[in-house]
Amino acid sequence: MYQKSEQEYTMSENHQVILLAHGSSDPQWCQTFEQLAKPTLEAIPESAIAYMELAEPSLDTAVARAVRKGAKLITVVPLFLAAGRHLRKDVPVMINRLASQHQLRICLAPPIGQHPALGMAVREVVSDTLATQSLMPEAITS
């Protein structure tokens, strides 16, 4: 489970962050994740986005890039709301393979949906949706 910390952490070039999304052949899917990752990528220069499958950069590509930049430790934060088979099985296998291949440590964080910030964000999204809908009832109709 996530733990709230008051301490700010300063990154170094030895430590890189990879935001890992599922990936899709649909460019719009990837666009949504790039948008989602943007505030993090802007705040933390030592961070990058990667896709588990069906889109580039792959996790393999992103890890190789991080290693070239001097990473000795990579933290993978899954842009998944909850842990399904991919996060419980497939991603740990990929991570173990890459850690051994590049001789570095790779830590897998819990899926973002387990962090309380996400629940608060969902509440904000719902409030905004309802407010927008009351102004423009047809705007979000399916």
Catalytic (active-site) positions: 22
Touching its own copies, residues 114-133 (CB under 8 A): 114-115, 117-133
Count the residues of the shown chain that bind its own copies, applying the rule CB under 8 A: 73
Judged by CB under 8 A, which of 13, 14, 27, 38 binds its own copies?
38
Helix (H, G, I), strand (E, B) or coil at 20: strand
8 A C-beta contact, residue 108 and residue 76? yes
Q: Does 97 bind its own copies (CB under 8 A)?
A: no
Helix (H) or strand (E) run with residue 67 in it:
helix 59-68
* Residue closer to its own copies (CB basis): 61 or 132: 132
Q: Is residue 57 a contact residue for its own copies (CB under 8 A)?
A: no
Burial class (CB in 10 A: 0-12, 13-18, 19+), 135: exposed
Note if the bond before 137 is cis, omega within 30 degrees.
no
> Measured from the CB atom, is 61 or 117 closer to its own copies?
117
Rule CB under 8 A: say whether 54 interacts with its own copies: no
Binding its own copies (rule: CB under 8 A), the pick from 84, 86, 90, 102 is: 84
Question: If binding is defined by CB under 8 A, does position 68 make contact with its own copies?
Answer: no
Burial 32-49 (b: 16+ CB within 10 A, else e): ebeeebeeeeeeeebbbb
